[in-house]
Amino acid sequence: MAEPTRGGSLAAYRTILRARMRAQASYRISFATDLLGTLLVGLTELAEVWVIYHNVPLLGGLDFAAALLVFGVTNICFAAADLVVGHLDTVPSLVRAGTIDAFYVRPLSLLGQLVTSDISLRRIGRLTVGIVVLAIAWSAAGVAPTLTNATLLGLALVSGTAIFAGLFTIAAGLQFFLIDGREFTNSFVYGGSYAAQQSSLVYPPPVRVLFTFVVPSAFVGYLPAIALIGLPGGPIADPAWAWWSPLAALAVWVAAALAWRSGTTHYQGGGG
Amino acid sequence: MSTPSIDVHELTRIYRRRGSALTAVDRMTFTIEPGESVGYIGANGAGKSTTIKMLTGILRPTSGTVRTCGLDPQRRRQDVARRIGVVFGQRSQLWWDLPLAESFAILGSIHRLDAATTRARTDELVERLEMGPTLATPVRQLSLGQRMRAEIAAALLHRPQLLVLDEPTIGLDVLSKQRLREFLRDQRAAYGTTLLLTTHDMGDIERLCERVLLVDHGRLAFDGTLSGLAATVSARRVLVVDLAAPCADLVDIPGTEHLGSEAEGLRQRLALAAGRRVGAGVSIAQVLATIAERAEVRDLTVEEPDIEDVVRRVYAASRDLP
């Protein structure tokens, strides 16, 4: 019996993912409507930002262009995380169907199997909205095209995606305990995503602390945006902190690892 | 000495929910050697599934130790998974929206078999289980019997040392059951695969298992052969005779015990002595001959001891103990 190699598992995941994509591609109409759906969700949220700024010139220290920058970065990160691990919130139904038990008796990591059990290509719709908005906002907000700014943006996109992916994983870990807890876990995943689209300054300080140091969604869009544009920020909202976004992502991942580990340890099997 | 396929020592699992505790498996100890074929039986909720979940690494024991193929399934779940095949009757390990053939290809890749090995092994299993016509069918469209054969093929693809089957024949018709049992016997003969199966079907045990483990309230109530189990509780076959004319009760027929009569003795029920053969050197032919001397036999049936009945009797006997 050959000893396991990492290349071996990667090949297995590739095979699984290819099969998943083929399965999705075989339902063309449903795929097209799903894609359109996520595109519309992205556009609706964009319209919301536009409506707000149609009425007020500044909100939480951000003008329309700056808000678009925050919106673009946040949406790219959320859609990318959603694409890769968004289906982790199906843990309860997988538990009920016994699919998780089947995962346990295969020689692959549980999380790896869960992540590759689906790939939500339809989320490309929202990703596209994010990319287009970011491109427009970048020039509208007058961000200088320097190497420093490009690095900061890259850092923000990677860390932001990691933060959302971590939040999804925490939710999945908790759902081993709370089989009917999807509403609860959704509230902080989607709540975190919504919070990330706002300026930290619209929140009173306790809430600002929450969305900076507990659910670090401020690190996804707002802090990088004010750093890129050169805005001053405010109390508990320092643009220099934007460079620390990888640290915020790391903290979320530590929490995610703990939640996942305790969830799978607590697992009692799918009944029967 | 070779490593046991399963080695369980003082294994205990307690479920705790909202303050109440339920001991599903209670200090269980047993060993299964490579190549053995073991039936794991007991009433619903006796702790069968819980034990299997601990053997396969799904569930963490509360206390005691489990070794599956010599490994701790909690610490080395993936290594254990490479060495065992598992079929949960109610849970699929196939990809329901893909053609069946793709599930085998994916599982081959998961078990790191090269393409040629996967194909050769798939061909062998497909031929033996007569699944050729269903290979291109999406799994969700398979009948129960087809799916169960596919599940077993999937569990055997990587040639596991140990095959764990949870209710493999549930819901299958008589012919499908028989074919499946034959296939499993052949696989054992060919590869020396260790077999552990939970079942409610006496036929599965009779035709597949040399050894029976009976679990009651999380404890091992019996460990031995099936005939030994039947003997311990004197589970008996019952001979039912329909006679041509009313007849006095057929008491004192050697090798039997009269259980009762209906319709003025037109139908009579006689328990045959315990075990697979009629005891005390009396054959069933002799029993019938003795009856024929007294009355004309129109029809007869033999009722096999029911597994549920055997289990109930063992349970009842163990309750009577101080």
Find the CB nearest A12 among B86, B88, B109: B109
Residue B297: inside a domain = yes
Residue B290: inside a domain = yes
Mean pLDDT across chain A: 88
Residues B42 and B109 in one domain: yes
Q: In angstroms, rounded to a whole number, what is the distance separating the alpha carbons of residues B206 and B195?
A: 14
Find the CB nearest B106 among A1, A19, A105: A19
Query: What confidence tens digit (pLDDT) does each residue in B13-47 have?
Result: 998 877 788 899 999 999 999 999 999 988 877 88
Q: Tell if the CB–CB gap between A265 and B90 is shorter than 8 Å.
A: no
Residues B293 and B263 in one domain: yes
What letter does residue B277 receive in the DSSP assignment? S
Query: What confidence tens digit (pLDDT) does each residue in A133-151 have?
Result: 999 999 999 999 999 999 9
What distance in Å separates residue B304's CA from the closest CA in chain A? 28
Residue B315: inside a domain = no
Residue B1: inside a domain = no
Residues B240 and B287 in one domain: yes
User: What is the arithmetic mean of pLDDT over B233-239?
Assistant: 72
Which of B181, B206, B229 is a domain's end point?
Answer: B229
Residues B91 and B114 in one domain: yes
Residue B198: inside a domain = yes
Say whether B122 sits in a helix, a strand or coil. Answer: helix
pLDDT at B82 over 90: yes
Write the CATH number for B122: 3.40.50.300
Find the CB nearest B109 among A2, A15, A270: A15
How much is the pLDDT for B69? 95
> What tens-digit pLDDT sequence spans chain A (272 residues)?
444 444 578 889 999 998 888 877 777 888 888 889 989 999 999 999 999 999 999 999 999 999 999 999 999 999 999 999 988 888 888 888 888 899 999 999 999 999 998 887 888 888 999 999 999 999 999 999 999 999 999 999 999 999 999 999 998 888 888 767 777 777 878 888 888 888 999 999 999 999 999 889 999 999 999 999 999 988 899 999 999 999 999 999 999 999 999 988 888 765 43
How much is the pLDDT for B298? 86
Q: Taking CB atoms and an 8 Å cutoff, what residues of chain B touch A261? A: none
Residues B115 and B256 in one domain: no
Residues B222 and B279 in one domain: no
DSSP string, B293-311: HHS-EEEEEEEPPPHHHHH
Sign of the alpha-carbon torsion through A137, A141, A145, A150: negative
Q: Taking CB atoms and an 8 Å cutoff, what residues of chain B touch A8? A: 112
Task: Single out the residue of A4, A271, A97, A16 nearest to residue B81, CA to CA.
Answer: A4
Q: In angstroms, rounded to a whole number, what is the distance separating the alpha carbons of residues A50 and B197?
A: 64
- For B250, the domain range is 236-304
Residues B181 and B272 in one domain: no
**Are the beta carbons of B62 and B14 closer than 8 angstroms?**
yes
Residue B317: inside a domain = no
Residues B50 and B132 in one domain: yes
Interface subset of B 76-105, CB within 8 angstroms of A: 77-79, 81-84, 86, 88, 90-93, 95, 97-98, 102, 105
Name the residue type at position B296: E
Name the residue type at position A145: P
Interface subset of B 94-153, CB within 8 angstroms of A: 95, 97-98, 102, 105-106, 109-112
Which of B229, B251, B282 is a domain's end point?
Answer: B229
pLDDT at B277 over 60: no
What distance in Å separates residue A248's CA from the closest CA in chain B? 31
- pLDDT band at B320; cut points 50, 70, 90: low
Q: Taking CB atoms and an 8 Å cutoff, what residues of chain B touch A2? A: 112
Residues B121 and B243 in one domain: no
Q: In angstroms, rounded to a whole number, what is the distance separating the alpha carbons of residues B78 and B263?
A: 64
Residues B195 and B284 in one domain: no
Find the CB nearest A104 among B58, B82, B105: B58
Complex-level ipTM beyond the 0.85 threshold: no
Give CA angle at B91 (B88, B97), nearest 5°. 135
How much is the pLDDT for B281? 58
If phi > 0 it is left, if psi is from -120 to 50 it is alpha, else beta; for residue B273 that is beta
User: What is the arithmetic mean of pLDDT over B267-272?
Assistant: 84
Residue B312: inside a domain = no
Residue B130: inside a domain = yes
Residues B268 and B147 in one domain: no
How much is the pLDDT for B1? 58
Q: How many domains does chain B have?
A: 2
